[in-house]
Every structure is written in structure tokens, then in C-alpha cells.
Amino acid sequence: MLKNRIIPCLDVKNGRVVKGINFVELKDAGDPVEQAKIYSDGGADEICFLDITASNENRDTIIDIVRKTAKECFVPLTVGGGVRTIQNITDLLLAGADKVSINTAAVKDVSFVKEASKKFGSQCIVVAIDAKKVSDNKWEVFTHGGRNKTGIDAVEFAKQVETIGAGEILLTSMDRDGTKSGYDVELLKVITDKTNIPVIASGGVGTLDHLYDGIVKGGASAVLAASIFHYGEYKIKEAKEYLNSKNVSVRL
């Protein structure tokens, strides 16, 4: 049976982890490579890097981080943030990323997703959708961390990217992101029902029950979380054992 995945996400800015793990054993709390290794050794099913570096000149640092991480972590590695061109994807994959996640570039021009999946295969193209609730049962796609409204319906957009070759959808609720109040389960449910590709739930995790809700109530194939793991509130293993105790199948 296919297991539900737990994916810790590391926010990286100018080569340093922004929201970092506060583990005492860390030599360098800001080193993304070391943190990725801790997650991987702790049973993370995948590792996700989100590059939030603003300027283009620092983009090479993420490539270097990916290269180093890929030599030490032998679980899938997804990299997102600032992926705008075919060359960006080529560089990340050559450095050792297994998947890239495309956000703004997919919203700006959806044919980019098609081009990317045709060139590299659907298996490595994740489309990240940032959605915000605008009315009852209606969510809209936002970009730039929830600041820019696009007028695009999130459900329709999810269906569209599936048709043109996305392998997975990374769905973040902008209403919930950073609130620790749980995933937007309603949003997840609508999108997992309307699409046939795996959906990764993101945005809002504060407790282990939230992970359970994302999978069981929202229908997500994988759950992504940042702060509950970063700040050492829970270890990956604890999350997995908890889910397992509630009959959610995970890789132990």
C-alpha cells in the first residue's frame, strides 16, 4: 500500500535557513545541508527547499546547497522558489534536485508547465498553488506570498495544470499559512476530489492532528510542514508514530 508522505520544508534565504531547527546538537543552525540531513536521517519521506532569496545574483547559492544536500540525502529532494525558466530547472536538476516546484511562472504563463513537463517528465514537475478563500466554496490563486490577486479560480487552475502535465500539486492555503490553525481542509478536499494527481497539503500546521486532517479529511497524498519540525516541537518520527496510531499508513 502506498504510504502517506511527510515532507519537512526548509525556507532558505541567501543560502541560510530562515526558520531553522533549534536543535542543540546543531553546529550551525543556519546550514541547510546539515538540517536536511537531520530530517532525512529522522525519516522524512522527502525534503523540500523553498528559496526565498529575493535577488537574482544570489540564486547560485541554492544550486550549491542542492548539490551538497543531494550528496548526503538519499530521499527525494524538491526545490521551489524563483523557478522561472527551463534553464532554472536544468540547473537545479543537474545539481541533484529530483523535483522542482513552479509557482509564479506557472500562473503567469501556464504553457511553461507544459513545456517543462514535456522536457523533463511530469515526475519532476510540481506546481505550487497559493490559494486564498474569496467567498463560500471559492478560492482564488494568489502570487507573491498572498499579496497579488490573480483572478484565477484555484480549482480550475489545479485541473488545468493536471491536464498539461504537472505531476503533483503543492497546495498552500494563504489564509492558514503561518497561523498554526490547521490546513484549509475544505480547499484540500475540493482539489483532491477534482484532480487525479497527488496533492501535497501545505500551510497552517500547528499540531499532529492537523497532519491527520490533511490526509484523512482533505485527501492529501502528502503533508508538508515547516515550523512544527523546525522549532523542534515534534520530530518526524513522532509525527509518523502518531499517524500510525490513528491508522494512517506511513513509512516507519
The separation between the first and the last C-alpha atoms of the chain, rounded to the nearest angstrom, is 13
- The C-alpha cell of 78 is what? 524538491
For residue 176, the one-letter residue type is: R
Q: Which of 163, 161, 183, 182 is nearest to 172 (CA)?
A: 183
Is position 64 annotated as part of the catalytic site?
no
Q: Which of 45, 51, 91, 130 is catalytic?
A: 130
The smaller minimum CB distance to another protein, of residues 71 and 149, is found at 71
The smaller minimum CB distance to another protein, of residues 76 and 178, is found at 76
CB of 92 to another protein, least distance (A): 9
CB of 62 to another protein, least distance (A): 15
Number of CB atoms found within 10 A of residue 241's CB: 14
Q: Which residues bind another protein (CB under 8 A)?
A: 1-5, 40, 45, 70-71, 74-76, 93-98, 120-124, 167-168, 196-198, 221-222, 251
Q: Which of 11, 45, 91, 177 is catalytic?
A: 11
The smaller minimum CB distance to another protein, of residues 94 and 145, is found at 94
CB of 24 to another protein, least distance (A): 25
Q: Which of 206, 200, 236 is nearest to 220 (CA)?
A: 200
Is position 130 annotated as part of the catalytic site?
yes
The smaller minimum CB distance to another protein, of residues 69 and 103, is found at 69
User: Is the sign of the CA dihedral 36, 178, 57, 117 positive or negative?
Assistant: positive
Please classify residue 212 by burial: count the beta carbons closer than 10 Å to its beta carbon, then call 0-12 exposed, 13-18 middle and 19+ buried. Answer: buried
CB of 196 to another protein, least distance (A): 5
Give the integer Cα–Cα distance in Å for 191 and 161.
12
Catalytically active residues, by annotation: 11, 130
